[in-house]
């Protein structure tokens, strides 16, 4: 996949720029309006109303919001999906995942922005985003923990399915044979890399419940036979050895500097000489006086604004650990990503 195709999915962001439009779109998915219109391109208002049991004024209101959001054509009386929205529907998984994510954590922004800025500890205690990403429920396999963990993994998996394409377009992975993806989640990143590189095998290292769900996620696909999962074992901090590539995808920003450095040290120790560490991470947000207003769909990622580092912060750490040939580039997706590679001497 080339860099242009790898960015094609970003067209979904146009439909979640503001809260009213994005919320109307969520409702249109929930009520079946989108499926109805996608399947019947020349249907009428009455057919839509009868099929979905919506009252006339409610449906008019919803369609008005969808028209304003570019989902429905403004030039026709009968509701018709716009060509731009039909194109975005090709990326329905990430479209729905981003809408869901934004809706879930919008109250954190609306109700807790002051705490986020002035009292981060209070924000962490009350924010829905931290209740969603509750890693303490990913340690022991119980039905409740599996359900809770699967909920946030749906989001990380949808994002990774597309972000991986941009990483693959920006770096030549063909030279590697065995990769270790630390915090590799559902195995989606490994899966995409294995699909693009038939000689590649992967180890995904993550928390036990995440590994259990991940193993099921890759079980049904051909590349699944080249992906194994290793659960993090607190008593055994060393990362699994025997890999020529260790990757950290959207993982290190989760950790303060000392833990970030420790992960990179463990990666170095697990790599054979000449092996590569690769970091693919969100960079710092371009929120400044010249920037456009922050789109609603970006709110969930924005809440982590303190966690995103400069490339220099990672490069300095890699250099301190003795890595060589350190190289950093930027990949522009819904936010600037940084792609850093470095070699163990």
Ligand X SMILES: C[S@@+](CC[C@H](N)C(=O)[O-])C[C@H]1O[C@@H](n2cnc3c(N)ncnc32)[C@H](O)[C@@H]1O
- Residues composing the chain: 345
Give the residue with the Cβ less far from ligand X, 71 or 251.
251
CB of 224 to ligand X, least distance (A): 17
- By CB under 6 A, the residues from 218 to 237 that bind ligand X are 232
Stretch that binds ligand X, among 122-130, 155-163, 313-321, 325-333 (CB under 6 A): 155-163
C-alpha neighbours within 13 Å on the C-beta side of residue 276: 20
Nearest to 230 by CA among 212, 251, 204: 204
Which of 69, 82, 145, 160 is in the footprint of ligand X by CB under 6 A? 160
Give the residue with the Cβ less far from ligand X, 57 or 234.
234
Under the binding rule (CB under 6 A), the answer on residue 156 touching ligand X is yes
Nearest to 45 by CA among 29, 23, 20, 64: 64
Under the binding rule (CB under 6 A), the answer on residue 62 touching ligand X is no
Give the residue with the Cβ less far from ligand X, 67 or 178.
178
Which of 85, 123, 205, 229 is in the footprint of ligand X by CB under 6 A? 205
- What is d(CA 294, CA 297) in angstroms, rounded to the nearest whole number? 8
| 8 CB neighbour count, 10 Å cutoff | 15
- By CB under 6 A, the residues from 244 to 303 that bind ligand X are 249-251, 254
Contact (CB, 8 A) for 339 and 328: yes
CB of 156 to ligand X, least distance (A): 3
Contact (CB, 8 A) for 34 and 95: no
Beta-strand pair 336-343/271-282:
antiparallel
- By CB under 6 A, the residues from 168 to 197 that bind ligand X are 182-185, 189
- What is d(CA 87, CA 273) in angstroms, rounded to the nearest whole number? 46
| Chain residues in the site for ligand X (CB under 6 A) | 135, 138, 156, 159-160, 182-185, 189, 205-207, 210, 232, 249-251, 254
């Amino acid at each position: 996949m080339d860099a242009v195709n790898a960015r094609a999915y970003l067209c979904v962001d146009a439909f979640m720029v503001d809260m009213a439009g994005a919320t109307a779109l969520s409702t249109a998915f929930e009520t079946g309006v989108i499926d109805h219109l996608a399947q019947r391109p020349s249907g009428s208002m009455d057919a839509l109303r009868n099929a979905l049991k919506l009252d006339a004024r409610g449906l008019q209101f919803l369609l008005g919001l969808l028209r304003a959001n570019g989902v429905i054509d403004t030039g026709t009386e009968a509701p018709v999906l716009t060509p731009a929205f039909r194109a975005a529907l090709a990326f329905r998984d990430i479209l729905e995942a981003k809408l869901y994510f934004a809706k879930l954590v919008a109250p954190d922004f609306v109700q807790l922005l002051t705490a986020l800025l002035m009292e981060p500890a209070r924000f962490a205690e009350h924010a829905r985003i931290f209740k969603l990403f509750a890693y303490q429920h990913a340690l022991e396999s119980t039905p409740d923990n599996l359900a809770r963990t699967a909920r946030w993994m749906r989001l990380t998996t949808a994002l990774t399915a597309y972000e991986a394409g941009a990483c693959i377009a920006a770096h030549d992975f063909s030279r590697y044979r065995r990769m270790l993806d630390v915090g590799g989640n559902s195995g989606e990143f490994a899966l995409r890399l294995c699909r693009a590189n038939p000689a590649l095998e992967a180890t995904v290292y993550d928390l036990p419940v995440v590994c259990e769900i991940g193993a099921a996620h890759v079980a049904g696909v051909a590349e699944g036979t080249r992906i194994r999962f290793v659960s993090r074992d607190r008593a055994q901090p060393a990362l699994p050895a025997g890999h020529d590539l260790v990757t950290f995808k959207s993982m290190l920003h989760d950790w303060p500097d000392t833990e970030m450095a420790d992960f990179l040290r463990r990666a170095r120790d697990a790599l054979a000489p000449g092996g590569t560490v690769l970091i693919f991470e969100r960079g710092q947000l371009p929120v400044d006086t010249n920037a456009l207003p922050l789109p609603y769909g970006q709110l969930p990622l924005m809440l982590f604004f303190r966690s995103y580092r400069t490339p220099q912060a990672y490069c300095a750490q890699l250099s301190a650990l003795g890595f060589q040939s350190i190289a950093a580039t930027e990949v522009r997706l819904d936010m600037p990503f940084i792609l850093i590679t470095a070699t163990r001497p």
